[in-house]
A and B are shown apart, each in its own frame.
Chain A
Amino acid sequence: ETGVTQTPRHLVMGMTNKKSLKCEQHLGHNAMYWYKQSAKKPLELMFVYNFKEQTENNSVPSRFSPECPNSSHLFLHLHTLQPEDSALYLCASRPSYLGGTTEAFFGQGTRLTVV
């Protein structure tokens, strides 16, 4: 148990559906991340939020829409996805303070299948 919780753990959705992934942490961390993990590909950084502000969008298609209403919650809204978007989506958080040495804590991921 890392203190980062992702729901749902598994999700199957059609290409015309709209769904959302949720990530929650109560570790006091101020930086939150979405990563995509596909078979045979490295972990791809998608979005970064620091103190609720988006600081990185790694050229992610607009069918993925992140939301960070507060430092403890991070969402990934999905709509009109493609089958190639099927992957494990990992959320991570870490402290975000100057000069600190930090590691990221990961959730267990959401296994997404687009049919």
Chain B
Amino acid sequence: AQTVTQSQPEMSVQEAETVTLSCTYDTSESDYYLFWYKQPPSRQMILVIRQEAYKQQNATENRFSVNFQKAAKSFSLKISDSQLGDAAMYFCASLMNYGGSQGNLIFGKGTKLSVKP
């Protein structure tokens, strides 16, 4: 079964500092994609960053980067120089690739990030 686990229900960071959100996943597949989505109070789910499992290089998008440890099935999100606008729920998600046909997008329970001025 495909599962995604976020063990931190809430996190807090001081503005301009760095915070890391944890995510682990479980799958027997070798080909898959991992995502971090952000959901601000407006409830709009927004893609933050994406990682293809076959790529060894960690994905980076401006202040957002991931630490992808395939053997450990770990996919953490690092937010550098945190800004007030980063305050939101963050969801980790996985999507399996079954030999060309794709499975469903499965989400973790989310981590609520607060940013202190």
Residues in chain A within 8 A of chain B (CB atoms): 2, 33, 41-43, 45, 48, 56, 88, 90, 92, 94, 96, 98-106, 108-109, 111
Contact = CB atoms under 8 A, between A and B. Distances in A.
A56 B104 contact: yes
A2 B100 CA distance: 26
Interface residues of B, number: 24
B92 to A, nearest CB: 10
Given A90-B45, A101-B33, A108-B42, A45 B104 contact: yes
Main secondary structure of the interface of B (DSSP, over half): strand
Nearest to A108: B44
B91 interface: yes
Nearest to A109: B43
Main secondary structure of the interface of A (DSSP, over half): loop
A43 B43 contact: no
A99 B37 CA distance: 22
A2 B44 contact: yes
A36 B44 CA distance: 14
Contact of B105 (A42, A92, A100): A92
A9 B44 CA distance: 12
26 contacts: A33-B104, A41-B109, A42-B107, A42-B108, A42-B109, A43-B107, A45-B104, A48-B104, A90-B45, A92-B105, A96-B102, A98-B100, A98-B101, A100-B102, A101-B33, A101-B52, A102-B33, A102-B95, A102-B102, A103-B35, A103-B50, A104-B47, A105-B47, A106-B45, A106-B46, A108-B43
Contacts of A45: 104-106
Contact of B100 (A33, A99, A106, A111): A99
Nearest to B33: A101
Q: Which 6 A-B pairs have the closest CB atoms?
A: A106-B45, A43-B107, A98-B100, A42-B109, A103-B47, A109-B43
